[in-house]
Every structure is written in structure tokens, then in C-alpha cells.
Amino acid sequence: MVNTILIIAAVVILLSMLLSLFRFLKGPSTFDRIISFDVMTISSIGLIALIAWFANRIIYLDIAIVYGLLSFLGVIIIAKFLEKSL
């Protein structure tokens, strides 16, 4: 039962990544592209967590945490650059 729910969650995450990729490529403004990139990174963190569950490897969660921290710093740096305060 749990694996079925997690497979459905993985499909929803992949769908959200696909929609975010569409917004990233077509986005009318730079801010739309930044937000869609952030959504894709958050979705990939969830996907890494699901892979950790299915592979039964807890070390992948450490990778997801580091990836989340780097993603957060990247978005903050891009926002500061666009604000012209960097």
C-alpha cells in the first residue's frame, strides 16, 4: 500500500517537473524562470527522497539536503543579482 502511494507521488512529482520545465522554457519574464527553476529543484529533492526510500539507502537523503541548501543559496544569489545589490 505504501509503495503504491509513493509511486503515485513520484508520478505527480515528475508531472510537476515537466510543467515547471515548460514554464522555464516559455516563461515571459526572468522571474518566472527563476521560480520555475526553484520548483524544479524542490521537486527533484522530493524525487531523490523517493529514490532513497525505494533503494533503501539513507545516504541519498544527505545528498538531498545538500542539494536543497545549494539550491536555496543559488536562488538567493540570483535574486540579489537581479535586485542590483550584489
Q: What is the pLDDT of residues 2-15, one digit of tens each?
A: 999 999 999 999 99
The pLDDT of residue 16 is: 95
Sequence-separated (6 or more) residues with CB below 8 Å from residue 23? 32, 33, 35, 36
Euclidean distance between CA atoms 46 and 52, whole angstroms: 10
- pLDDT, mean of residues 44-66: 95
Nearest to 6 by CA among 63, 66, 46: 46
Q: Is the pLDDT of residue 86 over 70?
A: no
Nearest to 48 by CA among 76, 2, 9: 9
In the chain, the amino acid numbered 47 is L
Euclidean distance between CA atoms 21 and 9, whole angstroms: 18
Place 37 in a pLDDT band, splitting at 50, 70 and 90.
very high
